[in-house]
Amino acid sequence: MIIILSSCTLSPEQSGPVRTYILAPQLPPQTAASPTRLTLLVSTPQAAAGYGTPQIAYTRKPYELDYFSRNQWVDTPGRMLKPILVNALEASGLFQSVAPGDTRILAELRLDTEILRLVQDFSDQPSQSHLILRARLIDLARGEEIASRIFKAQEPAPEEGPYGGVIALNRALERILGELVAFCTQAYLKR
């Protein structure tokens, strides 16, 4: 009986509270001197298979995806990213109005995004956090894509473990947000 009970005890890695983390990058500075008269809708980012869960993904070798057992996102990455995209594009000063895609307002443009990769990679030391995001800017009046681009950012974790990965992912997202605002500006100007 004692052997059975001792085999049921939790290891230190499995005990303790579940820690939850958020995406909270610094927003890029305002880029446009005066806003256009355009309204932009930002749809909820979709996530590639494996990344549409609150579980925080990591990898140790190619083609294998694992999740931290006691560490997770506060929500799915797509739902966390949506207000960040809205706030960054609104802060850019380019658009008269920026709103979530489920808002019932008339708009000229829509930004669709997809999280292609959001993972901490332990195959190198220090571990690296990778974020890959596909963006498509849609002209709603014409029903056509104006521009599309894939954004990639990789940041070293300042410490090993899930918290270091979260810090690095937020830094990667800061870089991508700046590039995304520039992408929307350039796509609008070429329109």
What's the pLDDT score for residue 32?
59
CB 129 within 8 A of CB 172: yes
What's the pLDDT score for residue 33?
59
Q: How far apart are CA 90 and CA 92, in angstroms?
A: 5
Task: Give tens-digit pLDDT for 30-43.
Answer: 765 567 888 999 99
Q: How many CB atoms lie within 10 A of CB 39?
A: 18
What's the pLDDT score for residue 189?
67
pLDDT averaged over every residue in the chain: 88
Q: How many CB atoms lie within 10 A of CB 114?
A: 17
What's the pLDDT score for residue 102?
87
pTM of the complete model beyond 0.85: yes
Q: Which residues pair with 154 in a beta bridge?
A: 130
Residue stretches of the chain with pLDDT short of 70: 1-15, 31-34, 189-191
